[in-house]
Structures are given as C-alpha cells and as structure tokens.
Amino acid sequence: MKITFNQAEEKIREVAREFSEKEIAPLAEELDKEARYPEESFQKMVKLGFTGIGVPEEYGGSGGNEIVKCIVVEEIAKKCASTAGILSIHGIFGQAILRFGTEEQKQQYLPEVTSGGKHGAFALTEPNAGSDAGAVKTHAFKNGDNYIINGTKCFITGGANADYVLVFALTDPSKGLKGMSAIIVPKNTPGFKIGKTEDKMGIRASETSELIFDNCKVPTTNLVGKEGQGFKIAMIMLDGARIGVAAQALGIAKGAIDESVKYMHERVQFGKPIAALQGLQWYIADMATKTEASKWLIYRAASLKDEGQPYSTEAAMAKLNASENARIVTNLALQIHGGYGYMKDYPLERMCRDAKITEIYEGTSEIHKVVIARAVIG
C-alpha cells in the first residue's frame, strides 16, 4: 500500500483545488439556500474530465483510478459537499456498466455519462428497503423481449436529473436476494415518472427524488450482468460508493478546519486573536489529527481497490470513521466560531448540516458496523 501521492496525483489535486476555490466556492451558499442543482458546475466537471475518472479513454472516460477520484471529491467537498456528492454518486452508474455491462452497453452508455454531459443514477433504496437492501419489492417481469417494471424507489440521489437510472428489481421474487436484477431505465421511458423531490436538512443542492415505475417497459437488452446478479452488483457498487462518500466527508472536515484557522487569526477577543487561546488550539489539534487519520483509512481502501485486492471491510471502516469525524469536526468548528458560526453568514452551519448525511447515505454507520463486525468476528 502506498502512503504518498505521486506527481500526477498532486497535479490533479492542484487542478481540483483551483476549480473548487474559483468555481465551486462562490456558488455553495446560494445553491444551498435555493436547493438548486448545480448543472453548470456539473458540466464544467465534465469538461475537466472529473465525471470520467475510473473509466478508460476508449469509452470516453479520462482514466485514473479510485485514488484520483477521492482526491477530486475531497477537494470539491471542502467548498461544497453537495457538488462533491453529486460527482461521487453519479460515477456509480458508469462503474456498474464498466464492470458488469456488455460491450454494447459500454459503448452506448459510458461515453454519454463520462464525457457526454449526461447524468446517471443508482436506484436501490425503497420505502421499506434501506439498510435492508434485500427487501426490495420493485419487480421486473419478462414479457417477450421486454421487462415490465413496477414499483417505487425513494431517496435517489440525482434521480430527477438522471438521463439513465440503474434500477434494482426482482425478476424472480421466489428466489429472494438471488432473484434481484439490475436494469437500465432511460429517462422519458413511458411508465417512468419522477415523484416527490425531498426537502432536505443538508446537501440541499444535491437533488434527492422518488422514482415511480408504473408498467414501465424496457428491452431485456437493458439488463446489466445476469438475471439474479442484482444484489451482488448493488453490494459491490456500494463498497466503492462508500469510499467516495468517505472522501466527501474528509473534504467537509478539512474545509471546516480551514475556515476555523482563518477565523482564529481574524477574530480578536481578550485583546488578541483567538488563535492564541490554548483551549481553541487544542480543538484544532484534535480536529487535524483525527482528520489526518481518517484520510489514511480512505486512501488505504482506495489503494486496495486500485490494486484489485478485497476492500469491502476497509471501505466500510473508512466511511464509518470519516463520516463520524466530519460530524465531530464541523461541530467543533462551529463552536470555535461561537455565535457567528450559528449564523448563515458563515459556512459552518451548512457544513454541519452537510456532514450529517455522510453518516446515513450509501449505508448508515450501523450497517458499516455490521459489515466490519462480520469480517472481524466471522
């Protein structure tokens, strides 16, 4: 496992940081306030090749690996957790096609979602199938050369904006988990409707919607992988997604530390900048140390993934740790800002709200503990 970043990775970090500071930061507050999807920023990320990370150039991607993806997500999350989350979760659609799709599917969909500016979404969760992902009720029955899909998905990141959704549905309910399949549903397919868009506490610029399938008909050629392989595909994709969300949490924590240090130098109390107060210095020391530790769990998991080694447990550990750290660090950062931190004039209250979702989506902390405990205890 590597413990340093190479020159190319440092260069990408520089590009992502500059983009995040110049293009993402000025919009963050407004997007949050208006709960507005950052389509312009998304298209700029397409131009920079960020949406194609991890997909080979022959399919329209920009190459790179999980480490590169984490670097970019981390830098963007420092300024806007919503935009970072959108980038991270959009990538799951392409990764699923790359790993499990047919050659035709790769050629058809990957160029569109990597460099073509189209949006992909991953639709697993249902009202009664969140942590218990195997409890999915949506079904897709074969009718000649088509699947007829019926059911409702909820809390789907980017669902209303998606051009393509990877839907997990039971093609054979009698087989339980082994009867679940992954099927591509393009937007505007008759019978596919967008339901409620959620009004959320945090990551307000990242749209989260309900998707309704009412006799939605798609060709059987839209099946990804084999019939019955859906649960496994979902779990494998979630393993990767957890590293991305952990990188998002890391960026939020780092952004909160940056804001705190800046404020501590500017804010004068008791006749000196509050940076001189030892109590607050200790806060910063704890915040920086825990964030550094969380960083290396994330890049360790990413590195294992890039090396083709098992990484499920490490991804769960990385996300469990980074998301908890983001919540703690943003709260301490707000505390350092005192009353000003509680006001919307400063970004801390947004960062606190944004941090919370990282303990919930792509699996709750409790589910990560289940995954980790199963690996440790057996």
Separation of alpha carbons 368 and 316, rounded Å: 5
Q: Which is nearer to ligand COS, 78 or 319 (CB)?
A: 319
Token pair of 259 as six digits: 């804001």
CB of 178 to ligand COS, least distance (A): 7
* Residue type for position 197: T
Compute CA distances 156 → 37, 110, 138, 196, 209, whole Å.
Answer: 14, 20, 14, 10, 5
> Which residues of the shown chain bind ligand COS in the complex (CB under 6 A)?
124-125, 130-131, 133-134, 177, 231-232, 235-236, 238-239, 312, 361-363, 367, 370-371
Q: Which is nearer to ligand COS, 24 or 297 (CB)?
A: 297
CB of 221 to ligand COS, least distance (A): 25
Q: Where are the beta strands (DSSP E) in the chain?
A: 120-123, 139-143, 146-157, 164-170, 180-186, 192-197, 208-219, 223-224, 268-269, 272-273
CB atoms < 10 A from the CB of 99, how many?
Answer: 14
Separation of alpha carbons 165 and 340, rounded Å: 41
DSSP letters of 34-84? HT---HHHHHHHHHTTGGGBTB-GGGT--B--HHHHHHHHHHHHHH-HHHH
362 has catalytic annotation: yes
CB of 165 to ligand COS, least distance (A): 12
Given its phi and psi angles, is residue 64 left (phi above 0), alpha (psi -120 to 50 degrees) or beta? left
CB of 144 to ligand COS, least distance (A): 29
CA 1, chain centre distance (Å):
24
Active-site entry in 66, 210, 227, 362: 362
Q: Which is nearer to ligand COS, 63 or 310 (CB)?
A: 310
- Which residue(s) pair with 122 in the sheet? 166
Q: Which is nearer to ligand COS, 130 or 273 (CB)?
A: 130
Q: Which is nearer to ligand COS, 134 or 338 (CB)?
A: 134
Question: Residues near 51 by Cβ (< 8 Å), separated by ≥ 6?
Answer: 42, 45, 87, 90, 91, 113, 114, 115
Contact 68, 12 (CB under 8 A): yes
CB of 87 to ligand COS, least distance (A): 16
In degrees, rounded to 5, the angle at the alpha carbon of residue 319 between the alpha carbons of residues 115 and 184 is 40
Residue found under tokens 């004068």: 268
The CB-nearest residue to ligand COS is 363
CB of 360 to ligand COS, least distance (A): 9
Q: Which is nearer to ligand COS, 216 or 371 (CB)?
A: 371
CB of 155 to ligand COS, least distance (A): 8
* Residue type for position 144: G
Contact 72, 16 (CB under 8 A): yes
Q: Which is nearer to ligand COS, 42 or 361 (CB)?
A: 361
Tell me the catalytic residues: 362
